[in-house]
């Protein structure tokens, strides 16, 4: 009897503890453990004024960004100290952010200011979480934002890209391509032309010339390019004019899609057939990013957030510059993906005017933008959000060396604004409720790259699985939105 | 019934009544704690498991009955991660055997015994994340300690421990066995020290061999420890998550390293399917409940309690 009682008690406890791993609010034990390796924990800075209004902010950002934004918030509190009692500035990690927001929503305790990405504008608006900014932000400010950003945060209740504006951007980023000038010099190769991105064939030739055994031990130790599947594969595919999904993001379209097949085959062959990238095994040993920093690869992706690190000699002691991703035979423009996250104000905040003023300061204040883009700090964390500044003073400062930046900065502008040779789009996962369909695709890519599975077989095998995940995402999207 | 109640009440002195109020208060503290931190979350998770809840939308407005459960049980990824979870459990008997062997070695009065015990116990008290990162480097394909040794000894390059669909499971089992060894050793050591010496002496007089002593005295007498380790390892085995999250990318090539809890996390937090994640948790809880119940039911057959 006693034994049975102990058994029952023990089982109940175990069931309880397991059930709670599924519950967002109590899963902190495990979540806490996993985030222990993240560099920063959640921190809250409080700025006090003499007034009676309280504003709570929840964002994620890196330590050096936080320093700049804390300064802006401090100034803001100073400027409005008669109104503000305190501003609580809570900064967490990107991994933790979603969990924290979910907990806040479940508890009905939303911060006054938080991030919304273009992927969640619809569900946040439809569920009444965010305030439309039309009455608070003047037209001049709006007109001075990059067009790509504006359309990402506009929504009219049925379609994104038109209607009211719901966020001001924290940033607009771009995933450009970079090359190591020193390796080009050593190989006696001409630098890539930023005006004319390589074709697939040209790119392969250059990569072959850069791939070699430098120390003569019989093993290749320098490669043309390194590609991280999760980020660096889509530019090859987009640049062949191909997409994973159809135009309204409801169908996966990769098997009956020659442009896609050509692009994916080319991407895989760079590793499997041509060997101009580190092998799959080598890639698991040391990622492409490390190999790039180590001067082992000729080309590597360069996000706008990477620029500061690549310009820093202690991190990357090589000369480098920006160029375009190679263009496939079915494509017309070198195309990469853009990214952004925006500041939103809670629809339920009691301080609508103050909060919108504050996000204007964080997003478009000239001094703040001079800091984050590197003019005053010497470290470019992002492109300026203010278009006229980005195109005039900022470019001059890049040219005269005040802002350490790659000289072919126009590559990035071309991607962001589009040109006859360049185009930038938000990645397709931006438009779907989650990115599980993409994860499904990525899971098996190593097996194709190491030659275990052929491209045709893989696409045939994976397409129905991706479609299932996409259907699931659409269903979830529909539970979260009006239509 | 009410009569008895009255009788009891009239018998209480004012002081006893006051004490009774205090007693209620003392009982209330853990009880309220249980309601808030166990009953409410469990109830919430149960409710959410029947909803297409995403965290952003309304939980009640998207109730879907057993749809999540049907989807889970028909999802090949769920079964794949279930199988992987079970494969990882090969590490449990391995850990118990090694643990017992080392504990028996330590159960003699050797010099440096305490230092040895401490060394074996260090992994247990270390941060799981930290040691997982460490082992990810040990298993590294090109630069890892393990492959360096293999290359030195055999002249051939070792396997792609964390990238290959099969080897990643071997790597995980090695890691988990190493990580759990300290606990088994400490527990077995305590168990061994509780075995009365005169049993062995009596057996020796009867001419028992070393193996017979082990088989008929040691093993039965430490069976409660074995039982305890088995239960806790099985439950822990079903909850493996951190190792996979830290040591592999997206659950390994073709999801080959993913466990049930990783699947749960992936669904709930990477893909925003919180209701679905709760349903996975419910299924996992049921499985653990059944396995624990079976263990307790059959323990009479092999666990010696007296």
Written in H, E and C, the secondary structure of A385-447 is CEHHHHHCHHHHHHHCCCCCCCCCCHHHHHHHHCCCCEEEEECHHHHCCCCHHHHHHHHHHHH
Q: Which of A433, A336, A427 is nearest to A124 (CA)?
A: A433
Bridge-based pairing of strands A334-345 and A422-426 is parallel
Considering the domain architecture, whether residues A423 and A375 belong to the same structural domain is answered as no
Considering the domain architecture, whether residues B93 and B172 belong to the same structural domain is answered as yes
Please give the pLDDT value at position B306: 65
The shortest CB-CB distance from A22 to any of B160, B278, B289 is to: B278
B257 shares contact with chain A (CB less than 8 Å) = no
Number of domains in chain B: 2
Considering the domain architecture, whether residues A235 and A355 belong to the same structural domain is answered as no
Considering the domain architecture, whether residues A307 and A381 belong to the same structural domain is answered as no
* pLDDT per residue as tens digits for the range A100-157: 888 888 788 899 999 998 888 888 898 889 999 999 999 998 999 998 888 889 998 8
Considering the domain architecture, whether residues B164 and B96 belong to the same structural domain is answered as yes
Considering the domain architecture, whether residues B24 and B139 belong to the same structural domain is answered as no
Considering the domain architecture, whether residues A64 and A208 belong to the same structural domain is answered as no
Q: Would the CB atoms of A18 and B284 count as touching at under 8 Å?
A: yes
In a domain, B198, yes or no: yes
Query: Who wins on pLDDT, A158 or B278?
Result: B278
In a domain, B232, yes or no: yes
Considering the domain architecture, whether residues B89 and B171 belong to the same structural domain is answered as yes
Please give the pLDDT value at position B300: 86
Q: Would the CB atoms of B127 and A36 count as touching at under 8 Å?
A: yes
Q: Is pLDDT at A35 greater than 50 in this prediction? A: no
Q: Would the CB atoms of A15 and B288 count as touching at under 8 Å?
A: yes
In a domain, B282, yes or no: yes
Tell me the nearest-neighbour CA distance from A50 into chain B, angstroms: 35
Q: Is pLDDT at A8 greater than 60 in this prediction? A: no
Considering the domain architecture, whether residues B174 and B261 belong to the same structural domain is answered as yes
Considering the domain architecture, whether residues B127 and B273 belong to the same structural domain is answered as yes
Q: What is the C-alpha to C-alpha distance for residues A396 and A258, in angstroms, rounded to an integer? A: 44
Q: What is the C-alpha to C-alpha distance for residues A314 and B182, in angstroms, rounded to an integer? A: 42
Considering the domain architecture, whether residues A158 and A305 belong to the same structural domain is answered as no
Q: What is the C-alpha to C-alpha distance for residues A181 and A197, in angstroms, rounded to an integer? A: 16
Considering the domain architecture, whether residues B130 and B265 belong to the same structural domain is answered as yes
In a domain, B66, yes or no: no
Q: What is the mean pLDDT of residues A21-38?
A: 33
In a domain, A407, yes or no: no
Considering the domain architecture, whether residues B80 and B16 belong to the same structural domain is answered as no
Q: Would the CB atoms of B288 and A33 count as touching at under 8 Å?
A: no
Out of A359, A374, A399, a domain closes at: A399
Instruction: State the alpha helices, DSSP H only, in A220-365.
Output: 229-232, 234-238, 258-272, 280-285, 288-293, 307-311, 352-364
In a domain, A208, yes or no: yes
In a domain, A475, yes or no: yes
Considering the domain architecture, whether residues A140 and A91 belong to the same structural domain is answered as yes
Q: What is the mean pLDDT of residues A22-35?
A: 32
Please give the pLDDT value at position B6: 53
* CATH value at residue A129: 3.40.190.10
Q: Which of B278, B257, B277 is nearest to B84 (CA)?
A: B257
Considering the domain architecture, whether residues A184 and A266 belong to the same structural domain is answered as yes
Collapsing DSSP to helix, strand or coil, A43 comes out as strand
Considering the domain architecture, whether residues B97 and B175 belong to the same structural domain is answered as yes
Q: Would the CB atoms of A98 and B269 count as touching at under 8 Å?
A: yes
In a domain, B65, yes or no: no
In a domain, A18, yes or no: no
> Confidence band (pLDDT; 50, 70, 90) for B8?
low
* pLDDT per residue as tens digits for the range A203-256: 999 999 999 999 988 889 999 999 999 999 999 999 999 999 999 899 999 999
Considering the domain architecture, whether residues A163 and A243 belong to the same structural domain is answered as no
Considering the domain architecture, whether residues A147 and A259 belong to the same structural domain is answered as no
* pLDDT per residue as tens digits for the range B208-240: 998 999 999 999 999 999 999 999 999 999 999
Tell me the nearest-neighbour CA distance from B175 into chain A, angstroms: 17
* CATH value at residue B119: 1.10.3720.10
Considering the domain architecture, whether residues A234 and A362 belong to the same structural domain is answered as no
> What φ, ψ does residue A426 adopt, rounded to 5°?
-75, 140
Residues of chain B in contact with residue A21, where contact means CB-CB under 8 angstroms, are 239, 261, 264, 281, 284
Residues of chain B in contact with residue A7, where contact means CB-CB under 8 angstroms, are 292-293, 296
Considering the domain architecture, whether residues A345 and A249 belong to the same structural domain is answered as no
Q: Would the CB atoms of A25 and B296 count as touching at under 8 Å?
A: no
In a domain, B62, yes or no: no
* pLDDT per residue as tens digits for the range A151-182: 889 998 888 888 999 999 999 999 999 999 99
By residue range, what is the domain housing residue B213?
A: 71-301
Q: What is the mean pLDDT of residues A373-384?
A: 88
In a domain, B56, yes or no: no
Tell me the nearest-neighbour CA distance from A363 into chain B, angstroms: 25
Residues of chain B in contact with residue A26, where contact means CB-CB under 8 angstroms, are 37, 41
* pLDDT per residue as tens digits for the range B127-143: 999 999 999 999 998 88
Report how far apart, in Å, the C-alpha atoms of B155 and of each of A13, A103, A216, A285 are.
51, 54, 19, 19
Q: Is pLDDT at B3 greater than 70 in this prediction? A: no
In a domain, A372, yes or no: yes
By residue range, what is the domain housing residue A319?
A: 175-338+412-480
In a domain, A179, yes or no: yes
Q: Is pLDDT at B4 greater than 70 in this prediction? A: no
Contacts of A172 (CB under 8 A, 6+ apart): A146, A148, A149, A338, A339, A340, A382, A383, A385, A416
Considering the domain architecture, whether residues A183 and A159 belong to the same structural domain is answered as no
Please give the pLDDT value at position A98: 81
In a domain, B64, yes or no: no
Number of domains in chain A: 2
């Amino acid at each position: 009897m006693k034994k049975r009682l102990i058994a029952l008690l023990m089982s109940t406890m175990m069931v309880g503890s397991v059930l709670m791993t599924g519950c967002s609010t109590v899963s902190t034990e495990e979540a806490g453990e996993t985030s222990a390796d993240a560099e920063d924990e959640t921190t809250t800075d409080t700025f006090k004024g003499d007034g009676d209004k309280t504003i709570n902010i929840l964002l994620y950002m890196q330590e050096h960004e936080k320093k700049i934004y804390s300064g802006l918030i401090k100034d803001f509190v100073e400027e409005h100290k008669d109104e503000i009692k305190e501003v609580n500035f809570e900064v967490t990690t990107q991994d933790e952010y979603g969990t924290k927001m979910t907990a806040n929503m479940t508890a009905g305790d939303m911060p006054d200011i938080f991030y919304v990405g273009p992927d969640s504008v619809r569900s946040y608006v439809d569920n009444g979480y965010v305030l439309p900014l039309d009455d608070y932000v003047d037209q001049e400010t709006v007109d001075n934002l990059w067009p790509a950003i504006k359309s990402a945060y506009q929504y009219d209740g049925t379609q994104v890209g038109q209607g009211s504006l719901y966020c001001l951007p924290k940033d607009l980023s771009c995933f450009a391509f970079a090359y190591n000038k020193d390796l080009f010099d050593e190989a006696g190769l001409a630098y890539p032309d930023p005006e004319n991105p390589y074709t697939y064939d040209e790119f392969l030739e250059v990569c072959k010339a850069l791939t070699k055994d430098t120390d003569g031990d019989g093993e290749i130790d320098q490669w043309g390019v390194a590609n991280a599947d999760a980020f660096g594969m889509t530019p090859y595919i987009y640049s062949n004019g191909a997409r994973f999904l159809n135009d309204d993001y409801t169908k996966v379209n990769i098997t009956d899609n020659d442009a896609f097949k050509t692009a994916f085959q080319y991407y895989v062959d760079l590793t499997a057939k041509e060997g101009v990238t580190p092998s799959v095994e080598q890639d698991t040993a040391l990622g492409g990013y490390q190999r790039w920093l180590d001067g082992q690869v000729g080309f590597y992706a360069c996000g706008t957030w990477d620029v500061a690190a690549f310009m820093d000699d202690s991190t990357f002691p090589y000369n480098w510059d920006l160029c375009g991703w190679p263009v496939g035979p079915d494509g017309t423009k070198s195309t990469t993906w853009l990214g952004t996250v925006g500041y939103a104000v809670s629809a339920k905040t009691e301080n609508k005017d103050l909060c919108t003023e504050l996000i204007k300061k964080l997003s478009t204040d000239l001094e703040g933008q001079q800091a984050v883009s590197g003019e005053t700090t010497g470290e470019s964390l992002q492109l300026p959000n203010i278009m006229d500044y980005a195109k005039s003073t900022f470019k001059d400062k890049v040219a005269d060396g005040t802002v350490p930046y790659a000289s072919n900065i126009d590559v990035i502008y071309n991607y962001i604004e589009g040109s006859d040779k360049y185009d930038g789009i938000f990645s397709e996962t931006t438009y779907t409720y989650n990115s599980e369909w993409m994860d499904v695709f990525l899971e098996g890519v190593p097996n194709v790259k190491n030659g275990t599975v052929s491209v045709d077989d893989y696409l045939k095998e994976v397409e129905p699985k991706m479609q299932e995940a996409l259907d699931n995402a659409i269903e979830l999207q529909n539970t979260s939105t009006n239509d | 019934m009410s009569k008895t109640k009255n009788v009891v009440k009239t018998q209480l002195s004012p002081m006893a009544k006051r004490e009774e109020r205090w007693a209620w208060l003392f009982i209330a503290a853990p009880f309220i704690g249980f309601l808030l931190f166990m009953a409410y979350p469990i109830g919430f998770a149960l409710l959410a498991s029947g909803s297409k809840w995403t965290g952003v939308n309304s939980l009640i407005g998207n109730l879907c009955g057993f749809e999540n459960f049907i989807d889970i049980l028909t999802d090949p990824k769920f079964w794949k991660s279930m199988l992987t979870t079970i494969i990882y459990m090969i590490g449990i008997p391995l850990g118990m055997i090694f643990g017992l062997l080392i504990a028996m070695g330590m159960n003699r009065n050797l010099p440096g015994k305490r230092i040895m015990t401490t060394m074996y116990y260090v992994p247990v008290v270390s941060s799981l994340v930290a040691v997982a990162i460490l082992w990810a480097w040990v298993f590294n394909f090109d630069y890892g300690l393990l492959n360096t040794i293999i290359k030195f000894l055999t002249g051939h390059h070792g396997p792609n421990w964390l990238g290959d669909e099969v080897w990643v499971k071997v790597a995980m089992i090695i890691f988990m066995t190493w990580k759990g060894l300290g606990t088994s050793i400490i527990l077995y050591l305590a168990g061994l020290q509780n075995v009365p010496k005169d049993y062995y002496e009596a057996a020796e007089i009867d001419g028992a061999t070393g193996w017979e002593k082990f088989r008929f005295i040691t093993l039965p007498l430490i069976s409660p420890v074995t039982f305890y380790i088995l239960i806790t390892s099985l439950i822990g085995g079903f909850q493996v998550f951190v190792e996979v999250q830290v040591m592999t990318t997206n659950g390994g090539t073709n999801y080959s390293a993913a466990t049930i809890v990783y699947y749960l996390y992936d669904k709930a937090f990477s893909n925003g399917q919180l209701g679905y994640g709760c349903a996975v948790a419910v299924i996992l809880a049921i499985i653990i409940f059944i396995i624990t119940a079976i263990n307790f039911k059959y323990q009479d057959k092999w666990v010696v309690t007296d």
